[in-house]
Amino acid sequence: MTTTINPLESQELAAPVRWRTPGMLTAFALAAGCAFVFFQRPGTTTFRLSSENDAIRLPNLEVSTVPAGVGLTIALLLLAGYSVFLRSSGRKTPRWLIAVFAVLLVAGFLIWAGSGGTLPVSGLLVATLGVSVPLILGSLSGVISERVGVVNVAIEGQFLAGAFAAAVVASVTGNVIAGLAAAMIAGALVAAVLALFAIRYLVDQVIVGVVLNVLVTGLTTFLFTQVLSPNNQQLNSPPRFAPIDIPVLSDIPIIGQVLFSQTLIVYLMFVAVAAVYYGLFHTRWGLRLRAVGEHPQAADTVGIAVNATRVRNVLLGGVVAGLGGSYFTLGSVGSFNIQMTAGAGFIALAAVIFGRWDPVRSTMAALLFGFASSLQYVLSIMGSQVPSEFMLMLPYLVTILAVAGFAGKMRGPAAAGKPYTTA
Amino acid sequence: MLELRGITKRFGTVTANDGIDLIVEPGQIHCLLGENGAGKSTLMNILYGLYHADEGEILLDGVSQKFAGPGDAMKAGIGMVHQHFMLVPVFTVAQNVMLGHEPTHPGGRLDMAAARDLVRRISNQFGFGVDPDALIEDLPVGIQQRVEIIKALSRDAQVLVFDEPTAVLTPQETDELIAIMRRLKAEGTGIVFITHKLREVREVADTISVMRHGQIVGQASPTASSSELANLMVGRPVELTVKKNAPAPGDAGLQVSALTVTDERGHRVVDDVNFQVRGGEILAIAGVQGNGQSELMEAIMGLRSASHGSVTLDGKELLGSSVRQILDAGVGYVPEDRHVDAMVAEFSLMENMMLDRSVGLPFVKYGTVRQPVVDQFTRERMAEFDVRAVGPHIPIGRLSGGNQQKVVLARELSRDLRLFIAAQPTRGIDVGSIEFVHQRIVRTRDAGVAVVVVSTELDEIAALADRILVMYQGRVIGIVPANTSREDLGLMMAGVTPTTKEDPHVQQFN
Amino acid sequence: MSSNLTSDTTRSASTEQQAPTNSPSQPQAKTTPGKWRTVLREISNGNTIINIFSVIIALAAGAILIGLTDEEVRESFGYFFARPTDALRAFWDAVAGAYSALFQGAIYNFGRPGFLNGIKPLTDTLTYATPLITAGLGVGLAFRSGLFNIGGRGQMLIAAGCAGWIGFGIQLPWGIHMIVAVVAGIAGGALWGGLAGLLKARSGAHEVITTIMLNYVAFYLLSYLLRTPLLQAPGQSNSKSAPTAETAVLPSLLGERYTLHFGFILAILATIGAAWLISRSSLGFRFRAVGENPHAARVAGINVGKTYVMAMLVSGGLLGLAGSFQVLGTTTSGFTPGIDAGIGFDAITVALLGRSRPWGIFAAGLLFGAFKSGGFAMQAAQGIPADIVVVIQALIVLLIAAPPLVRAIFRLPHDGSKLTDSKKVATA
């Protein structure tokens, strides 16, 4: 309900002093310093900035690990110290500082971990985006669904259904667009079941989501084994989307290939992020959606049909997640396989929370998680000593830290998870 | 002109509205008076399209209306200012006002400028002084209520329904609201004013309808006396006072010194509070809802971590102790929100009776609950506190509010107490139970226990208090004798420090 | 998200009438003496009927799936209008074959000579049910405390790692070795579950998120450890451990001919223990109080955070017990990171079907054990993927959660409690 506490005079409004950011920066700087200085990995790390067939070729960047490690440690400590100084004089740590800190930290880690190897920068970024595409679409689906008040744990199931439908329909029709459409319909179907049980029958939303994941996993596995495997040629050999080069832009060094030589699904993803952001915060659709998720009664009393709004947007979320699912079969792998989504739906869910239910922040979170998992891939190819399992763990650990560390600050849609009924 | 004819609404076996007839003329303030549970809100929710009447019809200017939802009611020109504001806390004023009838640019982009202008126009017309870009959650309740009114007016409401609008307001804010209502009336708006406060009714009403047990039991004119109205409302002469002897204050009791509580957002919700309650006396804490009373009680009970100062009971420091330790020190507590804080609705009466003693004797031995002991205890207490229920095994959620409160009271008064705190002890319960609860509170005092009663109802304060402490914005505005006039109390609740009346205790402890 | 598992309903408008409209769906049976009265009340409540009809609908849906995906059926559907009987017969044959194989694989195989051979499927069912029951108890107990433990997988994996390490890593005499290994497993599961409880108690981090995330952390942690000398079998290049030592293997109950092991006895004991804990003990009282209304529990002096930690410790411990069964009873030849075999998630459906009551979970575990055992037999005999039973199980759980839907399908009369039933699935 609305708050009933009268805000007192402004001088008493001073927010409680928060030492969390400076504290964390210091801790990270010290940890990085320990690794870079005390566990030195002497050698040279080579960053490959261009590949052979790039239009504009940049020379490789070679970095000697020990001096770079020491230098970066000093820089990190200085930044952390500045943050502490700001805090002690009562000011907040500016965002640019955190961003610079993060970039230096990652750079330092790459130099340290990649010692003696060559790191393909563009390849790493391409891989990051590749892993992130479904995560971003999944998290957008989660943002839409949770913002309207329905917790969507079934993103994984929507992915899987989308991937399956896309593979089958694209194989049968020989048309990738048809496969794409089928994926969206399949995602929406899973969402429809979620809506039916959560909104019509008031079953706990998380329970429906979990059970739906089991259901879709069982169903696709059954159909794969029973129908797809014996008829692999006809049913599970879909055409794949070909990358579309955008003239000029795709020739930009380093990022050109990453952003502008991609498949239709990726471009659709870019559009989706922008559209969801714009729609959510600048249109009637978004205003009503958020009102329904924050205070359904208030929405109801101004004549907004709460449950209809929820159903529509949960379905829309399903369409977006289904699109994400199609990427597995039509964008990357090229055929359906049992449980091929491998928990990506849950990482997308984590991105929603980590991104605080904001489409742009959730996209960033998805990219971060995508970066972490492609980094482990690249590092293991380079023969790095960091066990790949720990890199794979990273998104999950980061999410746990985020929900535990920022629980007070993380405020989701107030009515998410609660069914709405009138007497 | 709005007319209700024969409106009937049933919830299961309960008939909340029984053949209600009501007429509201334009430019008229029609008061709907009735105690909690009389069916007023149900009626208004039917009028607003949130509920559907089982029988009867709603006519506007003689035309029968069918409301599928609030949207239809609004289109027909009915606006509502809800008891619990229907505002999205994380939205701005303009966003809340535009919601549901948003102006947009041709491209579909929200036209925020138009929404702001609309808010400013209405705000200026009535002198509301509302900033369209303020976030609702940052606004005081009085202003939030104005946003609700702007919301209704922005939809050209012909009839405005105010559902218990003064419950959360200071007397001053109430006066301002009444002025607003008069201005609306002058502009030709029909107003339905739902309340259970007699003073306001007599001040503002053109017509009064009294509701009881889901029926309109009578019409009255604004000149009717308070006791006439009260009799109509409850159906029998009401004893507004509780028989009690003069207090016999004993030893130390509760001593609160320099207590300060900060909430999650860093506001000081309790600010340097000092007072003492001796054994054998009742200190009543008065104040408008939301002035720190709840937080003060929670701090004493150990439910608020960000508390500083000192709270001692018989000389022993309580602040910093766990809830468990505080209960064990001999504190009984009836929280203000019964459903949330005082009972587990799905639990049986037995389980609710042992809720605060789930470790150790008398109810637990060898880690196992001694069912026969709990059973016998519950039956005894049910008899003693006149709890009307089928048996000790049924879930407490099935009982009426009054019976639930008696169970809570029975549980809290069954331990050896040194301090008893009752917050809004009679909120939402029937008149018969109110009398019972008041009597038990007085009897607890007479047994030598220090008693603190928190109430927003001046009637209750007057009935129980030996001394009255008034809170305003987290501070103690004064501690005054029980015979202080309502006018003075009202001023104090609005933040005006008393100047004339001197209270020995005030000098002693401030 | 709300911390309470049962959905809070945002009610529109304050309900002024005195009788609360959200009265609990049904009286709890716990205080009534006598098992039979409980059973009778159950049936009269309609829960049992809903359960039975849910199973029927799910089996029917499964039948349609099996029929439609059958090779012969699809061929005969090609000339459906010429000879529809062919298609229908093929359909019937496929479904009847599948479900008879399912039954024979779960209860009694009439194709095998002699009672002792014929009854083997039933003992397999009990073997499969053993971890399902234990894990289901863990999830159900968390439900009763208002916690949704989706972390069964992680808790089982950590438990398997701990029990497995004791099982082959150290040497102890017969019996003691087994006990120590089981205790280690319980401790491992409790630790991993308690971690989520601690995070919730300390920082308010929602357990649904943390347990999901901890699943993956446990998976990668175990994957890593299975590549290190700590857990990896000597000479092994895959992520696989050494076989469990003879001294730590849970003894067979009915002789070497059957798979049923001592774990089943432990599962029965766990059920009895959980039943006592929930309905008779002081700790269980606090679990339920916190689960139903944490605010009131806190005001009544119950330490809610500590109760969450305790509940997650016990819940994780039970899942840990299930995890130890996997390495000490089911797969004793060395384990991989997939040792949980999806039981951590199955446990959620088991707990929901059992409505979070220990003996209900026991029955649900038996049913799902039968499905599992029968599913594998069906796959072997008829070539129908065993995953169909996963579909059937998920459908059952969805349906029992929505009694109005089941009633609508079978045109059953509505009972008085209306929709409120469905909200209480997990805790009723």
CB contact under 8 Å between B89 and A6, yes or no, is no
Do A109 and A205 sit in the same domain of this protein?
no
CATH of the domain at A157: 1.10.3470
pLDDT tens per residue across span A264-304:
889 999 999 999 999 999 999 999 999 999 999 899 888 89
C60 DSSP assignment: H
CB contact under 8 Å between A6 and B140, yes or no, is yes
Do A214 and A340 sit in the same domain of this protein?
yes
Q: In this predicted structure, which of A365-369, B22-26, B323-327, C233-237 has the lowest mean pLDDT?
A: C233-237
pLDDT for position C293: 92
pLDDT for position A409: 56
Contact A357, A228 (CB under 8 A): no
Confidence band, pLDDT 50/70/90 cuts, at residue B507? very low
pLDDT for position C268: 96
pLDDT for position C14: 35
| Chain A, chain C: beta-carbon pairs less than 8 Å apart | 193
Name which residue leads in pLDDT, C6 or C59: C59
Contact C290, C5 (CB under 8 A): no
The answer to whether residue A298 sits within a structural domain is yes
The answer to whether residue A185 sits within a structural domain is yes
Do A61 and A109 sit in the same domain of this protein?
yes
Q: Quick check: A309 pLDDT over 90?
A: yes
Task: Name the helix (H) or strand (E) containing B15.
Answer: strand B14-24
Among residues A98, A116, A134, the one where a domain terminates is: A116
The answer to whether residue A410 sits within a structural domain is no
Distance CA C414, CA C396 (A): 20
Q: Which residues of A are less than 8 Å from B271 in CB distance?
A: 8
In angstroms, what CA-CA distances link C41 with C32, C38, C353, C423?
10, 5, 18, 19
Confidence band, pLDDT 50/70/90 cuts, at residue A18? low
Among residues A68, A88, A116, the one where a domain terminates is: A116
pLDDT for position A384: 67
Instruction: Quote the minimal CA–CA distance from C188 to chain A in Å.
Output: 19
CB A53: neighbour CB atoms within 10 A?
7
CB contact under 8 Å between B393 and C27, yes or no, is yes
**What is the mean predicted confidence (pLDDT) over C293-307?**
93
CA atoms in the 13 A half-sphere facing the CB of B233: 26
CB contact under 8 Å between A222 and C425, yes or no, is no
Which amino acid, one-letter code, is at B247? P
C252 DSSP assignment: B
**What is the mean predicted confidence (pLDDT) over B150-159?**
88
Question: How many independent structural domains does chain A possess?
Answer: 2
Distance CA A300, CA A314 (A): 18
Q: What is the 3-state secondary structure (H, E, C) of chain A?
A: CCCCCCCCCHHHHCCCCCCHHHHHHHHHHHHHHHHHHHCCCCCEEEEECCCCCCCCCCCCEEEEHHHHHHHHHHHHHHHHHHHHHHHHCCCCCCHHHHHHHHHHHHHHHHHHHCCCCEEEHHHHHHHHHHHHHHHHHHHHHHHHHHHCCCCCCCHHHHHHHHHHHHHHHHHHHCCHHHHHHHHHHHHHHHHHHHHHHHHHCCCCHHHHHHHHHHHHHHHHHHHHHHHHHHHHHHHCCCCCCCCEECCCHHHCCCHHHHHHEECHHHHHHHHHHHHHHHHHHHEHHHHHHHHHHHCHHHHHHCCCCHHHHHHHHHHHHHHHHHHHHHHHHHHHCCCCCCCCCCCHHHHHHHHHHHCCCCHHHHHHHHHHHHHHHHHHHHHHHCCCCCCHHHHHHHHHHHHHHHHHHCCCCCCCCCCCCCCEECC
Distance CA C424, CA C428 (A): 5
Closest to C336 (Cα-Cα) out of C217, C248, C235, C241: C241
Name which residue leads in pLDDT, C360 or A22: C360
pLDDT for position A322: 96
pLDDT for position C45: 55
DSSP β-bridge partners for residue A420: C10
Confidence band, pLDDT 50/70/90 cuts, at residue C88? confident
Asked if A203 is an interface residue toward chain C (Cβ–Cβ < 8 A), one would say yes
pLDDT tens per residue across span A407-416:
555 677 888 8
The answer to whether residue A310 sits within a structural domain is yes
Tokens of B186: 């002058």
Distance CA B273, CA C65 (A): 71
Tokens of A271: 């559009």
**What is the mean predicted confidence (pLDDT) over C299-327?**
95
Closest to B43 (Cα-Cα) out of B62, B24, B63, B71: B24
The answer to whether residue A370 sits within a structural domain is yes
Q: Quick check: B22 pLDDT over 80?
A: yes
pLDDT for position C19: 35
CB contact under 8 Å between C12 and A222, yes or no, is no
Residue with tokens 């909200």: C423
Confidence band, pLDDT 50/70/90 cuts, at residue B43? confident
Round to the nearest angstrom and report the end-to-end CA distance of chain A.
18
The answer to whether residue A7 sits within a structural domain is no
Round to the nearest angstrom and report the end-to-end CA distance of chain B.
56
Q: Which residue of C has its CA nearest to B401?
A: C18
Contact C372, C350 (CB under 8 A): no
Q: Quick check: C74 pLDDT over 90?
A: no
Distance CA C146, CA C368 (A): 24
Tokens of B66: 């069918």
Which amino acid, one-letter code, is at C227? R
pLDDT tens per residue across span A31-87:
888 877 777 777 777 887 777 666 677 777 777 877 888 888 888 888 888 888 888
Q: Is C132 exposed, middle or buried (0-12, 13-18, 19+ CB in 10 A)?
A: buried
Three-state DSSP class for B393? Answer: coil
B residues 31..70 contacting C (CB < 8 A): 36-42, 45, 50-51
Contact C368, C345 (CB under 8 A): no
CB contact under 8 Å between A290 and B88, yes or no, is yes
Q: Which residues of B are less than 8 Å from C302 in CB distance?
A: 324, 358
Q: Quick check: A363 pLDDT over 90?
A: yes
**What is the percent of chain C with per-residue pLDDT over 70, rounded to a whole number?**
86
C109 DSSP assignment: -
Q: Quick check: C427 pLDDT over 80?
A: no
**What is the mean predicted confidence (pLDDT) over C118-128?**
90
pLDDT for position B241: 63
Q: Quick check: C7 pLDDT over 50?
A: no
Task: Name the helix (H) or strand (E) containing B353.
Answer: helix B349-353
Confidence band, pLDDT 50/70/90 cuts, at residue B452? very high
Q: Report the neighbours of C using a cutoff of 3 or more CB pairs below 8 angstroms.
A: A, B
Asked if B359 is an interface residue toward chain C (Cβ–Cβ < 8 A), one would say yes
B66 DSSP assignment: -
pLDDT for position C223: 92
pLDDT tens per residue across span A121-142:
888 888 889 889 999 999 999 9
Confidence band, pLDDT 50/70/90 cuts, at residue B234? low
Q: Which residues of C are less than 8 Å from A353 in CB distance?
A: 209
Do A249 and A199 sit in the same domain of this protein?
yes
Do A97 and A164 sit in the same domain of this protein?
no
Do A81 and A129 sit in the same domain of this protein?
no
DSSP β-bridge partners for residue B212: B215
Contact B468, B284 (CB under 8 A): yes
pLDDT for position C26: 34
Do A260 and A315 sit in the same domain of this protein?
yes
CB A9: neighbour CB atoms within 10 A?
9
A residues 345..384 contacting C (CB < 8 A): 346, 349-350, 353
Q: Quick check: C422 pLDDT over 90?
A: no
Q: Quick check: A11 pLDDT over 70?
A: no
Contact C59, C378 (CB under 8 A): no
Do A107 and A137 sit in the same domain of this protein?
no
Q: Report ipTM for this prediction.
A: 0.82
pLDDT for position A278: 95
Do A148 and A94 sit in the same domain of this protein?
no
Q: Which residues of A are less than 8 Å from B144 in CB distance?
A: 2
pLDDT for position A123: 81
Q: Quick check: B284 pLDDT over 90?
A: yes
Do A111 and A153 sit in the same domain of this protein?
no
**What is the mean predicted confidence (pLDDT) over A151-169?**
94
**What is the percent of chain B with per-residue pLDDT over 90, rounded to a whole number?**
29
pLDDT for position B506: 43
Do A219 and A359 sit in the same domain of this protein?
yes
Do A349 and A365 sit in the same domain of this protein?
yes
Task: Transcribe B92-147 into DSSP letters.
Answer: BHHHHHHTTS--B-TTSBB-HHHHHHHHHHHHHHHT----TTSBGGGS-HHHHHHH
pLDDT tens per residue across span A176-214:
999 999 999 999 999 999 999 999 888 888 889 999 999
Instruction: Quote the minimal CA–CA distance from B358 to chain A in Å.
Output: 29
Instruction: Quote the minimal CA–CA distance from A143 to chain C in Å.
Output: 14
Instruction: Quote the minimal CA–CA distance from B89 to chain A in Å.
Output: 6
What domains can you pick out in chain B, each with its CATH number? 2-234 (3.40.50.300), 240-327+450-510 (3.40.50.300)
Summary mean pLDDT of chain B: 85
Residue C384, phi-psi category: left (phi > 0), alpha (psi -120 to 50), beta (remainder):
beta
CB contact under 8 Å between B291 and A6, yes or no, is yes
Range of A84's domain?
Answer: 18-116
pLDDT for position A408: 52
Confidence band, pLDDT 50/70/90 cuts, at residue C1? very low
Q: Quick check: B503 pLDDT over 70?
A: no
| Chain A, chain B: beta-carbon pairs less than 8 Å apart | 124
Which residues lie closer than 8 Å to A35 by C-beta, 6 or more apart? A109, A112
